[in-house]
Structure 1
Amino acid sequence: MNLTGVKTVLPAVAMTVVSMVLTLAVVVMWLGTAMPWMVALVVGLGIDGGWLATLAYERRLAAQGDHSTPVTAVGWGFGVVATGVLVAHALTAETNAGAWLAVAWLPIAAKALWLVHGLWERTALTAEALDAIQGIQQEARDEAAVARARLRAEAATEETRLTAVTQAGARVAAVQAETAKTLSRAWSTLESAREGKETGRALTSVTTPVTPGVTPGVTPRWELPLWGPVEPVSALALENGPALTDDALDALVDQIRHSQTPALTYREMATRFRTSGHSASEVRLRAAWKRVEAA
């Protein structure tokens, strides 16, 4: 029995001894006036002896890991009888009735302490088991603390990353908005110039396709520039041979354009035109493209 077991059994033993002494004394004092004191002593010893015998039997069964309900009931019966004797003596005593009544609960209290000690014995663990349990609990607390710290660090990192991404997105959006405003103002100025009477004449003197109604069959094209990857165009090859005629240029442009299905765009056609070694100015090549497209 370790130190904790001693702490639980000593109060039960002490209270049992006090209860037996009080019970014997009360029986001898109470019944001694009505019968010989030797008979009263035997009655008191019988009550205490029966209580002690049942208690010893209960302890032996508990040591074997067993339990007997009848023995427990008999033990509680002796405790109730001892308590009843003390209460009856206190109620019939002419002097100090309150003091006797105050100690009348000791037999029941002693039985309760033995019950507590039995519960401790059934749930007691060895020192090795207690050390193992404490180690497991400490390990669980350590893992929980590490997990909480990791989660807090990840949350702080994610918050920092989201803040940086948000700020960068805001800056990009601001630049895009400013660029859109600039382009809008520029195209508004160009549209005003195209629609103006005097500016239209000036543009006509520079290039006729930009003014509506000047060149028959030609529709002016005012489109926003395309922002994206641009395919490199090979430099114009300088040849000493004669330049292509308009009909030959148109036939060559039409042939290159329809060399693939669907038909090539102007940029793709121009790239293949110059890659194949042909030479023509950009103005003539675009004019040929328009003629072929219109046809």
Structure 2
Amino acid sequence: MNAKATKTVLPAVAMTAVSMVLTLAVVVMWLGASVPWPVALVVGLGIDGGWLATLAYERRLAAQGDHNRAVTAVGWCFGLLAAGVLVAHALTAESSAGAWLAVAWLPIAAKALWLVHSLWERTALTPGALGAIRGIQQEARDEAAVARAQLRAEAVTEETRLTAVTAAGARVAHVQAQTAQRLSRAWSTLKTARDGEETGAALTSVTAPVTPGVTPRWELPVWGPTEPIPALPEATTPGLTDEALDALVDEIRYSEAPPLSYREMAARFRAAGHSASEVRLRAAWKRVAA
């Protein structure tokens, strides 16, 4: 019997011994006045012996992992009989009735302690099993702690990411607002310059030496959704020399009176299937116009 089992069995043994001694003493004192004392002693020993025999048989069955309700009932009957003897003696005693009633519950308490001890034996585990259980519980606690730490780390990471994204979005919105404000001021400046009274004279003075005979037109740039410009068709004719390009530009420009503007000439040039880069075409225009 290990130390833990001793903690439950020793109180039961002590209380059983005290109950048996009290029962024997009460029977001898109670019956000693009416019958010879050896007879009273036999009666007391019979009650204690029956109780002790049933208790021993119960312990034997418990050691085998068995249980018998009849034996248990007989044991409780002996315990109740001993308690009844103590109660009856206390009620009929002329003195110290309260003291005898105070100890009358000891037989029932002894049976209850043996019941507690039997329940402990049924649920007791070996040190190896207890160690395995502690290991499983510790492993579960470790896994739970790791899971909590991982969740906290993921939460902190997500919070940091959201903070960074929010800050970046705020910076982008701030830059966009500044850009829109600058574009608005530039547009206002362009519109003011276009609607000014001296804009036409200034444009004429600038463009007249380059494109004589062409009335300058200044249109504001488009600010908003635009349509993509279709790609230029591939050239179907071989590249033109500068002389041939100048001749074509001169022919198209002076095909009508007054002479066509550069844009009209360029549109007709390309509509006729000719190909030339914008730089070469504008250089030919300048040579012809000069």
CA distance in 1, matches of 2:62, 2:198: 116
Structure 1 residues 282 and 89, CA gap change in structure 2 (3 angstroms): farther
Matched, 1:130 2:130: yes
CA RMSD of aligned residues (A): 3.3
Matching residue within 270, 277, 284 for 1:274: 277
Shift of 1:151: 2.1
Residue of structure 2 equivalent to 1:253:
270
Matched, 1:165 2:165: yes
Amino acid at match of 1:253: R
Deviations 1:245-286 (A, max 9, x none): 3389545523779xxxxxxxxxxxxxx8539xx9412896xx
Amino acid at match of 2:154: E
How is 1:8-87 mapped onto 2 (pairs within 5 angstroms)? 8-87=8-87
Structure 1 residues 89 and 179, CA gap change in structure 2 (3 angstroms): same
CA distance in 2, matches of 1:112, 1:36: 34
CA distance in 1, matches of 2:11, 2:117: 10
Matching residue within 242, 245, 254 for 2:244: 242
Higher RCO (CA 8 Å, separation ≥ 6 residues): 2
Amino acid at match of 1:254: A
Q: How many residues align?
A: 253
Amino acid at match of 1:208: P
Q: Which moved more, 1:54-63 or 1:127-136?
A: 54-63
Amino acid at match of 2:282: S
Q: Which moved more, 1:45-54 or 1:20-29?
A: 45-54
Structure 1 residues 88 and 255, CA gap change in structure 2 (3 angstroms): farther
Structure 1 residues 65 and 201, CA gap change in structure 2 (3 angstroms): same
CA distance in 2, matches of 1:98, 1:283: 138
CA distance in 1, matches of 2:277, 2:20: 125
Structure 2, unmatched stretches of 5+, are 208-214, 233-238, 256-264, 286-290
Structure 1 residues 29 and 273, CA gap change in structure 2 (3 angstroms): farther
Amino acid at match of 1:209: R
> TM-score under structure 1 normalisation?
0.75
CA contact (8 A) 1:239 1:279 kept: no
Residue of structure 1 equivalent to 2:262:
none
> TM-score under structure 2 normalisation?
0.76
CA distance in 1, matches of 2:120, 2:138: 24
SS of 1:280 mapped into structure 2: helix
Residue of structure 2 equivalent to 1:267:
none
CA contact (8 A) 2:190 2:220 kept: no
SS of 1:86 mapped into structure 2: helix
CA contact (8 A) 2:83 2:107 kept: yes
Residue of structure 2 equivalent to 1:223:
222
CA distance in 2, matches of 1:238, 1:74: 130
Shift of 1:68: 1.4
Amino acid at match of 1:155: A
CA distance in 2, matches of 1:3, 1:25: 33
CA contact (8 A) 1:12 1:113 kept: yes
Deviations 1:86-117 (A, max 9, x none): 11111221222221111111100100000001
Structure 1 residues 202 and 274, CA gap change in structure 2 (3 angstroms): same
Amino acid at match of 2:222: E
Deviations 1:115-173 (A, max 9, x none): 00111111010000111111111122222222222222222222222222211211111
CA distance in 2, matches of 1:281, 1:155: 63
SS of 2:244 mapped into structure 1: coil
Matched, 1:209 2:217: yes
